[in-house]
A and B are shown apart, each in its own frame.
Chain A
Amino acid sequence: AQSVTQPDIHITVSEGASLELRCNYSYGATPYLFWYVQSPGQGLQLLLKYFSGDTLVQGIKGFEAEFKRSQSSFNLRKPSVHWSDAAEYFCAVGARAAGNKLTFGGGTRVLVKP
């Protein structure tokens, strides 16, 4: 069965500083990997996704993520955080072979200090 772990429940970062959110997954084959963001009171917005190919994936809002097979990780990064990046971030893994089920991590809440 597939699973996702986001080790950090909360992260506080200063505006303008860099951000890295960790995601570790468990799946037997190469999974489809996703990062979503949820602003307070809002739905889920897709930041980026990885299926295959280049292991560094660019997304919206200046985010990028790197797939590392050897570490079973898909960490999300942003070089310079804006106050509007304060939100909850979810890593998710899916696979056609797993019936297209999308499994989410517990989420990381990001607070941005002025």
Chain B
Amino acid sequence: EAQVTQNPRYLITVTGKKLTVTCSQNMNHEYMSWYRQDPGLGLRQIYYSMNVEVTDKGDVPEGYKVSRKEKRNFPLILESPSPNQTSLYFCATLSGTGNYGYTFGSGTRLTVV
């Protein structure tokens, strides 16, 4: 089954404690992206990757890092989380050929206290 897998689904952490949210896909898609969802703001893009070793900032990249060492994985790293990064995070991949469309993971709800 084609899917995007995020872990963990829920995470509560303290300010300043580094964390990583993992994202893995089994569709061999080149394009991957991270979004955060906040009430009234919809989803906003944090970072995206066009292919392995190619990453770029989205609309709200401050406080986040990503890496793309292999095609299937695209982890989101918060080096020093702050309460304003409390949000619902989604990883997404894009099938840019054939049936063009995005596939989203199930989401990670992060709370920073």
Contacts and interface: CB of A to CB of B under 8 A. Distances in A.
B45 to A, nearest CB: 6
Contacts of B40: 9, 106-107
Contacts, number: 49
Contact of A107 (B35, B42, B58): B42
B56 to A, nearest CB: 8
B96 A100 contact: yes
Contacts of A96: 96
Interface stretch (B18-26, B70-78, B79-87, B103-111): B103-111
A73 B27 CA distance: 32
Given A9-B40, A104-B43, A106-B41, A49 B101 contact: yes
A102 B102 contact: yes
Contacts of A99: 48, 50, 56
A100 B44 contact: no
Contacts of A51: 100
Interface in A56-114: 90, 92, 94, 96, 99-107
B101 A44 contact: no
Contact of B48 (A34, A49, A101, A105): A101
B66 interface: no
B92 to A, nearest CB: 7
B112 interface: no
Contacts of A90: 42-43
A22 to B, nearest CB: 14
A27 interface: no
Contact of A102 (B33, B41, B56): B33
Interface of B: 31, 33, 35, 40-45, 48, 50, 56, 58, 90, 92, 94, 96, 100-102, 104-107
Interface of A: 4, 6, 9, 32, 34, 42-44, 46, 49, 51, 90, 92, 94, 96, 99-107
The 6 closest A-B pairs by CB, nearest first: A104-B42, A104-B43, A43-B106, A44-B104, A106-B42, A43-B107
Given A6-B42, A44-B104, 11 more contacts: A42-B106, A43-B105, A99-B50, A100-B94, A101-B33, A101-B48, A101-B58, A102-B33, A105-B42, A106-B41, A107-B42
